[in-house]
Amino acid sequence: MGRLGELEPVPRRSTVEIISDELRTAIMYGSLAPGSQLGEADLAARLGVSRGPLREAMQRLVQEGLVRSEPHRGLFVIILTEEDMEDVYLSRLAVERAACQMIMARNRGEALVRLTEALKALVGAASQRDRIAMSDADQAFHQVLVSASGSPRLERMAQTLLVEARMCLSALQEKYPEPEDLVEEHRKLVEAINDGDEERLLRLIEEHMTDSIDRLRASAD
């Protein structure tokens, strides 16, 4: 890994990767709603791509678990049950806890720089009290947290989990933390990394995820 600020080659992305990202984002924001069918002809026309790479991109999302295949019917966006939603946050806890341990062991300085910037974006969104911008900044913070671990495998796992977490937000909106509370939760994570306090960091990340599970349960009552 190069020094901070050092220029590095920009990775080239394949057409399949770009299409996969477009579909993932559409699922995350509900443009492709839970339960909706993915029609090849329609999506190819909307995205302006040929069916070959589109078909490959859709199969990637099947492998990731964001799309399900029904024999003789086609491909459909998944529908998350209450049990699925809880499982999403428990899985996120496992991934992000491991990421936190790796950060504290070897990447604390880099993580601190990147997460401080991500926190600033969250503070900005919270000051506007814009729920969508706050959700975007919240998700970006956690993407950076996992990315800063230096583990591409954790990052791949987190990618799908964060999309699924975003799909849970319709159930969580009424129970979503107040802007000040959301900022404070994330500020404490950055402070624990800055202080080199791994025990506190792991406790905070666990509380962060279990609080989301509690909110999900409350929204179902």
3-state secondary structure 148-217: CCCCHHHHHHHHHHHHHHHHCHHHHHHHCCCHHHHHHHHHHHHHHHHHCCHHHHHHHHHHHHHHHHHHHH
Kindly state whether residue 42 falls inside one of the protein's structural domains.
yes
Name beta bridge partners: 37.
Answer: 76
What angle (nearest 5°) sits at the alpha carbon of residue 170, between those of residues 23 and 205?
90
Q: What are phi and psi of 107, to 5 degrees?
A: -125, 30
Whether residues 115 and 142 share a domain: the answer is: yes
Per-residue model confidence as pLDDT tens for the chain (221 residues): 445 566 666 567 788 999 999 999 999 888 899 999 999 999 999 999 999 999 999 999 999 999 999 999 999 999 999 899 999 999 999 999 999 999 999 989 999 999 999 999 999 999 998 888 998 999 999 999 999 999 999 999 999 999 999 888 766 666 678 899 999 999 999 999 999 999 999 999 999 999 988 888 877 66
Whether residues 130 and 196 share a domain: the answer is: yes
User: Whole-prediction pTM value?
Assistant: 0.82
Whether residues 59 and 130 share a domain: the answer is: no
* 154: CATH: 1.20.120.530
Kindly state whether residue 170 falls inside one of the protein's structural domains.
yes
- Structural domains in the chain (count): 2
Contacts of 65 (CB under 8 A, 6+ apart): 78, 160, 164
- Domain stops at, among 50, 77, 104: 77
Whether residues 89 and 187 share a domain: the answer is: yes
* Per-residue pLDDT, 3: 54
Whether residues 164 and 210 share a domain: the answer is: yes
Distance CA 25, CA 42 (A): 17
* Per-residue pLDDT, 1: 44
* Per-residue pLDDT, 8: 66
* 34: CATH: 1.10.10.10
Whether residues 55 and 111 share a domain: the answer is: no
Whether residues 134 and 61 share a domain: the answer is: no
| Structural domain of 55 | 15-77
Tokens of 202: 């792991």
